[in-house]
Amino acid sequence: MTELHQIGEIIQSRYRITNILGQGGVGITYAALDAQTGDRVALKALSFRRMNEWKVLELFEREAKVLAQLDHPAIPRYLDFFQIDSDRDRDFYIVQQLVEGKSLAQAIADGWHGSEEDVKKIAEQVLEVLIYLHELKPPVIHRDIKPQNILLQSNLKIALVDFGAVQDTYRSTQVGGSTVVGTYGYMPPEQFRGKAVPATDLYALGATILFLLTGRSPAELPEIKLKLSFRDSVNISTHFADWLDKMIEPAIEDRFSSAKQSLNALQNPILPSLESRINALEIRRSLGLTSDLTTSKYQYPKPLGSRIEIKKTDSSLKVYIPPGGLRGDGISLLSFAVFWNGFLIVWTSLALRAGFFAMLFSIPFWVVGIGMAYLGLSIVFGKVCLVIRDRTFSIDWDVLGIKRHVQGKTQDLRQIELKSSYEVNHQPVMELRLNQGIYVHKFGSGLSRPEKEWLLLEINDFLETWRSHH
C-alpha cells in the first residue's frame, strides 16, 4: 500500500504527520502531533479509492466502533474517528493515543532476547487484556494476536494494538461467505474456516510466545498431526512448556477454555493441569479445602456418597473404582444401545432378504451398536484399579469378566486430564485420561463430576509430589 500522506502534512487542520508507524491489512498508521492538545497520537488512515473490496471498509469501521467502547490501560485510548472527502477520494481516519515502544517483532529483529520470566510476564499481560476483551458483552475477539501487534515498552509493559481484524460478536460463518482474517502461522485451524472464539486468541498468543522463545515464525517449526512441535527448539521449564503445549492445541476443546483459566495455570505451577472447562482454584474452593496454596500436598475431602477407595502413602497410590451401577450416563448409553441394536436386528433381517451385499451395508452400524453397548456395560458393570508405585504403575479394567491389564514406568506418566471424547443425549461425557507418552489410558466416565474432579486432584497431587522427589 502506497503512502497517503507526506511527513509534515496536516490532516483535519489539526494532526501533523511526523512519521510512519506501520502498514496493516486495512490501512497505514502514522505518528502525528495533535495541535490542539500537544499530544502525540497514532493516526490510522484508509483510502476509499485504494480499497480492493468492501470488506476492508467494514473491518475499518468495525475497528473504530469497538475501540470507542474499550477502556483498558494496555489498549491505546480511542480519541476520534472521521472522514475527509476530496474530488478524487474519501479517506477514513482512526485516532488513538500513541504508545511509545516497539513491536515484539521489531524487538526480536533488533536482538532482544527475553528470559523465561520476561516472556512469561509478557504472556500474563496479554492474557489480562484478553480476559477483559472476552468478558465484554458481547465478547471482543482480536483475531490477529501476533508479535507485530504487541508493543513492548522499556519497563516490559505491553500494549495491544491493531484491532483491524476484531470480531465483536459470535457469528456463524462459512468458507466462501466470510473473509478469513488473521496471519498465517498464528491462526488456529478453526480460523481458516472463518470461525473465531475466545480460544482462537489463546492459540495466537501461544504462537507469539513460541516466536519470542525461538526467534522463528511458528510456520517454520515442525508439525506432528497439525500440532506445532517446539520442545526440541526451546530451553524452558516443564511447567511453562506444558502450559504452552495446551495453548497451541489444534482442537478448540483441547485448549484452555478461557484466558482466565490460562492465566491461572500459568501463574500457579503447583496446580494440576485440568480439563479445559475446569478452573483448579474454583475446584479447591468448592471442595472446601483448608490447606494453604503454597504447600506441596493437599488433603482433598471425598465426595459425599462416593464408593471409590483410595489408599495413599508417600511411595504409592491405589485407586479402586467399583461398578457404577444402573444410573447416569451408563444406563443412558445402554438404553440407547438397546434401541439401536433392536432397530438393527429388524434392518438386518430385511437386508438378508434383499441379498448378501445389502446385509454387508449393515456391518458398520453393528460395529457402532456393539461399541456403544460395551461402553455402557463398562460404565455400569466395569471395575477399575489404578496403582502407581515408586517405579511402576498398572491399570486393570474388568467388565463382566473381560479383563484388560496395562503397566509401565511411573517416570513416563504425565499429569492426568479430564476430557470428553463422546456425547450422550448431546452432552459431552467427561473421562479421566492418564497420559503415558503417546499412549492415553481412559477411565472413570461413569463417575459423578465431583468424583472425577476429586480423583484428578488426588492423582495429580501424587504425581507432582513424586516428581519433586525424583
C-alpha–C-alpha distance, residues 201 and 133, integer Å: 10
Reading the chain (470 residues) residue by residue, the pLDDT tens digits are 467 788 999 999 999 999 988 776 557 889 999 999 999 999 988 888 777 677 778 778 888 888 889 999 999 999 999 999 887 788 899 999 998 889 999 999 999 999 999 999 999 999 999 999 999 988 899 888 999 999 999 889 999 988 766 554 333 232 333 445 567 889 898 888 888 889 999 999 999 999 999 999 998 999 887 889 999 889 999 899 999 999 999 988 889 889 999 999 998 765 444 443 344 444 444 545 444 433 334 456 788 778 889 998 878 999 998 875 444 444 555 565 566 566 657 666 766 666 665 556 666 665 665 655 555 555 555 788 999 998 999 999 887 667 889 999 999 898 888 877 656 555 666 788 888 888 889 888 777 778 888 888 889 888 888 887 77
Query: Which residues, listed in sequence order, are joined to residue 275 by a DSSP beta bridge?
Result: none
Residues 6+ apart with CB under 8 A from 140: 66, 70, 133, 134, 166, 167, 168
Residue 16's pLDDT is 95
Task: Indicate the burial class of 454 (C-beta count within 10 angstroms; 0-12, 13-18, 19 or more).
Answer: buried
DSSP 30: E
C-alpha–C-alpha distance, residues 244 and 172, integer Å: 28
User: DSSP letter string over 181-199?
Assistant: -S-TTS--HHHHTT---HH
C-alpha–C-alpha distance, residues 263 and 261, integer Å: 5
Let me know: does 296 contact 270? Beta carbons within 8 Å.
yes
- Whether the upstream peptide bond of residue 138 has omega within 30° of 0, thus cis, is yes
Let me know: does 457 contact 272? Beta carbons within 8 Å.
yes
| All cell numbers assigned to 335 | 438404553
User: Cα angle vertex 19, ends 156, 184, to 5°?
Assistant: 60
C-alpha–C-alpha distance, residues 306 and 303, integer Å: 6
| All cell numbers assigned to 2 | 502506497
Let me know: does 48 contact 149? Beta carbons within 8 Å.
no
Query: Which residues, listed in sequence order, are joined to residue 453 by a DSSP beta bridge?
Result: none
User: DSSP letter string over 89-117?
Assistant: -EEEEEEEEPPPSEEHHHHHHTT----HH
C-alpha–C-alpha distance, residues 42 and 49, integer Å: 22
The amino acid present at 138, given as its one-letter code, is: P
The amino acid present at 86, given as its one-letter code, is: S
Active site residues: 144
Find how far residue 146's CA is from the centre of its chain: 16
Residue 283's pLDDT is 47
Residue 354's pLDDT is 63
C-alpha–C-alpha distance, residues 233 and 115, integer Å: 15
What phi and psi values does residue 280 have, to the nearest 5 degrees? -60, -40
| All cell numbers assigned to 264 | 491461572
Residue 90's pLDDT is 86
Residue found by looking up cell 462416593 in the block: 306
Residue 344's pLDDT is 59
Residue 466's pLDDT is 86
**Would you call 440 helix, strand, or coil by DSSP?**
strand
Residue 462's pLDDT is 87
Q: Give pTM, 2 decimals.
A: 0.56
What phi and psi values does residue 326 have, to the nearest 5 degrees? -80, 75
The amino acid present at 209, given as its one-letter code, is: I
Measure CA of the first residue to CA of the last residue in the chain; give whole Å. 58
C-alpha–C-alpha distance, residues 396 and 197, integer Å: 39
Query: How far are the Cα atoms of 11, 15, 96, 100, 255 from residue 35, in angstroms, in the given order?
Result: 10, 6, 15, 19, 47
Let me know: does 397 contact 384? Beta carbons within 8 Å.
yes
Strand order in the sheet with 15-24: 10-11, 15-24, 27-34, 40-47, 90-97, 78-85
The amino acid present at 335, given as its one-letter code, is: S
**Would you call 442 helix, strand, or coil by DSSP?**
strand
* Backbone CA torsion sign across 198, 200, 201, 202: positive
DSSP 141: B
Query: How far are the Cα atoms of 345, 369, 431, 446, 465 from residue 373, in angstroms, in the given order?
Result: 14, 6, 17, 14, 39
Residue 104's pLDDT is 95
